[in-house]
Amino acid sequence: MMKVLLVALAVIAVAHAAIIERKISRPYWYSIIIIMEMMMFNNSLSAASEKSTNMRWIRAEDYDRIVGGSTTDAHEFPYQVITAAHCVHKTAKKKLRVNVGDHNIEDAEAQIIDLRSLHVHSGYSPSTLANDIALLKLKSSATAKPHTSTIQCASADTKLIAGEDVLITGWGALAEGGSYPDKLQKVKLQLVSDTDCDAEHGSEFMPKEIFCARYKPGGKDSCQGDSGGPVVYKGDLIGLVSWGYGCARPDTPGVYTCVSNYESWIAKTMG
């Protein structure tokens, strides 16, 4: 398994305005990311009562941002970031950079890193969001900040059990169409079976490539601004926030890219 160091980071991107494809409710311009090499993640959720812990994230300054990030043991791989492909597929590499630093965006203590290269999965489809994953290679190393810990990427044989908890973090909207927080948020959702996910999303459901999670009564969810952000299951990084119908609606599961399904692609792309 790949080890990743928990650290917050953000990628500053040029504003994409509300480019919302189909039923996607995680806008591209405020999206989240996960990093692989010396950093891990952070994002935001629609559960205003679930405030962030002592993890630190990144200052997005006055630009729209993609947040989150994951890391492996130092020098094990080149410094790289994993995110959802829909967050970056229309953005030039020169318009993206990674910030590593703060937990509160009002307290600017960020390390800004430019990209060396951008790799969107060759099978990514903007219309269906199939293979919604991308990898960003950084030009330089990131320095670990306080309040970090290690995490492993889930392996390809990881079994997801319906009803069990996953943890998502981010700086996305606190409600559907709502405001954005200054501090990192966290929320626990429950995994949904493939059968229920298929019943909800029909032809949009792609077994193995994605999985679903929700808080059945509603009121808790990932939301706009959380795209590309990390989903942690049993202490391992298992997914990326991808899309959904609105935010925090009762009985309505969100859809997440299953990172473990792309273990070989990640290894090959990381080189």
Q: Three-class SS string for 121-149?
A: CCCCCCCCCCCCCEEEEECCCCCCCCCCC
Condensed to tens digits (0 to 9), the pLDDT of residues 239-257 reads 999 998 889 999 999 999 9
Q: Catalytic site residue 227?
A: yes
Poorest-confidence range of 10-19, 145-154, 238-247? 10-19
Rounded CA separation 136/1 (Å): 20
Rounded to the nearest integer, the mean pLDDT of the chain is 71
pLDDT for the residue numbered 152: 72
The pairing of beta strand 111-120 with beta strand 97-100:
antiparallel
Alpha helices, DSSP H only, in 2-130? Answer: 85-88
Catalytic residue among 31, 52, 227, 242: 227
Condensed to tens digits (0 to 9), the pLDDT of residues 160-215 reads 999 999 999 888 888 888 888 888 788 999 999 999 988 888 767 777 899 999 99
Catalytic residue among 31, 46, 86, 260: 86
Catalytic residue among 25, 70, 119, 132: 132
Condensed to tens digits (0 to 9), the pLDDT of residues 44-55 reads 344 433 333 333
Q: Catalytic site residue 194?
A: no
Q: Catalytic site residue 86?
A: yes
Q: Kindly list the domain boundaries of the chain, sorted by start residue.
A: 1-271
- Span 9-14, mean pLDDT? 42
pLDDT for the residue numbered 190: 98
Four-way CATH pick for 1-271: 2.40.10.10, 2.30.30.230, 1.50.10.10, 3.30.750.24: 2.40.10.10
Rounded CA separation 142/36 (Å): 11
